[in-house]
Amino acid sequence: MAHAMQTGMHFHAESGLLRGACQVLSPHCDPRPGGAVPELIVVHGISLPPGEYGGPWIGQLFCGALDPAVHPYFAEVAALRVSAHLLVRRDGEVLQFVPVGLRAWHAGRSSWQGREGCNDFSVGIELEGSDVQPYAAAQYAALAQLVRALCATWPTLSPHRLVGHSDIAPGRKTDPGPSFDWDRLRALLA
């Protein structure tokens, strides 16, 4: 499979789908409420099982198909109804789970600049990683391309409206964690 970053990234504005990305559509989404549009990009970090990379587990979690018997940790999370718009694997491969025009269930209890419920007005991008291990160079490159493509398609988005999950859910969430290099991402976006 060709990675989306090899050919440049472009979203189809009407469908909200990333051209060339593997589409694994999640049932864990719904319409954005009351004319809400994407105004914020939220960066997350995820690994399943914790600290391990590769495998189908993240996609299975986002699609409600994670088998709790496969790993002891999965029993804790298999029943969660969560998703993200996009996932960037360690090698830079991008998978899409929710069209950008829909509300993905990625932020949970959250607020940004006094607005509650960030799922309503944000795009969630998961990076395969953890708080303690550096993210891969290919992930930063793909994330920068995703941010540029999102901002080019939805004028309500901006690289200045880019936050971590920890920024919108402080005390509850730590991702993408201290291992995420925000300066590196900003340099790629400059």
| pLDDT tens string 118-148 | 999 999 999 999 999 999 999 999 999 999 9
The secondary structure of residue 138, as a DSSP letter, is H
Residue of 78, 80, 27, 82 whose CA lies nearest to 57: 78
Express each pLDDT in 70-123 by its tens digit.
999 999 999 999 999 999 999 999 999 999 999 999 999 999 999 999 999 999
**Which two structure tokens, joined as six digits, stand for 70?**
């496969």
Express each pLDDT in 35-55 by its tens digit.
899 999 999 999 999 999 999
Spell out the residues 6+ positions from residue 180 whose beta carbon is closer than 8 angstroms to its own: 43, 45, 127, 129, 135, 164
**Which two structure tokens, joined as six digits, stand for 153?**
């398609």
Q: Taking the model in full, what pTM does it have?
A: 0.95
Catalytic residue positions, numbered: 126
Q: What per-residue confidence (pLDDT) applies to 73? A: 97
Q: What per-residue confidence (pLDDT) applies to 6? A: 40
Buried b (16+ CB within 10 A) or exposed e, 160-175: ebbbbbbbbbeeebeb
Residue of 176, 178, 188, 76 whose CA lies nearest to 143: 188
Q: What per-residue confidence (pLDDT) applies to 8? A: 82
Contact 24, 95 (CB under 8 A): yes
Domains of the chain: 4-189 (3.40.80.10)
Cα–Cα distance, 142 to 152 (Å, whole number): 15
Summary mean pLDDT of the chain: 95
